[in-house]
Structure 1
């Protein structure tokens, strides 16, 4: 587990190679071991392959070009202080890796739009949660996402969780006929990583324990 946690990263470039169904079923079976409140397991997935991915990719790219984002869940109102700093540091690591210079909004926009191309991934998992369970269902589904990402790493796959896709939940709902009692949490693009691509060449840092832990010994 320590190795999986220390080597996982968000993959932003993939080989043109389908993941065998048996491997995907193993991935999903591992992720299904995620803990949840009262074992409700509120997550459900729609997983694309082959032509299903390509149709969804084309629909998402076309929609995202001309429609504003609207999420099923409230998005962050702002990123303040250290959270803003960490977000910016991560973004600049990506831009520097792929050659986007500061101030080049056209280039940064193109890179951001890669989200809706799924970074070229051959598969996407759309993660939904039971609407009636509210924030707790979303938390449980978020735990599932974390397990999925680690399971993918254990199988030699690359993956990236993408809240950006959930910003176009209306398109996702229509495309996959998702009922109103489900909320779209996010999408996970995954496949075999292209390790030669510059976007996969960097790794983000993690805060020290001193920044995030308060010890209450007495």
Structure 2
């Protein structure tokens, strides 16, 4: 299987060229940050990022998300409660059904990302203890000073989850445009009851994912790798 980072310029003209080039730069520079500095982000910047994400296109303009921005003491309490819950051996209990399995190229891409991370950290494949410690960083939100917990109005089911995916994608690009690092996370949402209890999330809000936000620790080994993207031919079919 071959991969190729999508950095090639596509033909554009006129005023659209600058806009397309700007989006390409954001897409090329954005990556999942797995180590943040403790520096907090100004509230006005967070509000700007979230206001941009609010422009996401949605099915019937439902805008089905409610986002909870965790910072300060609330975030620290959530880190501690979630980590304790996971290390206690609690069973996963996501609000959305998690993937049953990964196969074919999807499995290959998942493995490639994992090998790249553990390789950057110098963790061998057989070092289960070190791999376990790194896995727990998911529930500490990689030290980020802010976390956006994204929920879905339960009545909207799978199509609402599609809208949430679009919202998170816009949120990531908005953060990048404002100089912030980010990482979308499914792992915390796999333990939805612990999050719901800690944060008093209503039962009619399905916990979908979290997005950690802040400033990247550029010296951290966990941020020293990038994963490529597949060539268009692997994922796109033109039917003329």
TM-score (normalised: structure 1): 0.98
Alignment partner, residue 125 of structure 2: 102
> CA shift at 1:169, angstroms?
0.2
Alignment partner, residue 36 of structure 1: 58
Q: After TM superposition, which residue ranges in structure 1, 4 or more long, deviate above 2 angstroms?
A: none
Distance 2:236 2:34 in 1: 31
Alignment partner, residue 62 of structure 1: 84
Unaligned runs of 5+ in 2: 1-22
- Check the 8 A contact 1:18/1:122 in 2, yes or no: yes
> CA shift at 1:29, angstroms?
0.5
Alignment partner, residue 135 of structure 1: 158
1:2 aligns with 2:11: no
Alignment partner, residue 48 of structure 1: 70
Superposition pairs for residues 15-30 of structure 1, below 5 Å? Answer: 15-30=37-52
Alignment partner, residue 168 of structure 1: 191
What's the CA shift string for 1:129-179, capped at 9, x where partnerless? 011000011110110000001111111111111100101100111111111
1:115 aligns with 2:119: no
Distance 1:53 1:28 in 2: 18
Distance 1:140 1:14 in 2: 28
TM-score (normalised: structure 2): 0.89
Alignment partner, residue 232 of structure 2: 209
Query: Between Structure 1 and Structure 2, how many residues are aligned?
Result: 217
Q: Alignment partner of 1:74: what SS? A: coil
> CA shift at 1:8, angstroms?
0.5
Distance 1:48 1:184 in 2: 14
Alignment partner, residue 103 of structure 2: 80
What's the CA shift string for 1:30-85, capped at 9, x where partnerless? 11111101111001111011111111111111111111211111111100011111
Larger radius of gyration: 2
Distance 1:154 1:100 in 2: 32
- Check the 8 A contact 1:13/1:200 in 2, yes or no: yes
What's the CA shift string for 1:79-131, capped at 9, x where partnerless? 00111110000000000011101211111111111101111111111100011
Unaligned runs of 5+ in 1: none
> CA shift at 1:214, angstroms?
1.2
Alignment partner, residue 12 of structure 1: 34
2:221 to 198, 211, 217: 198
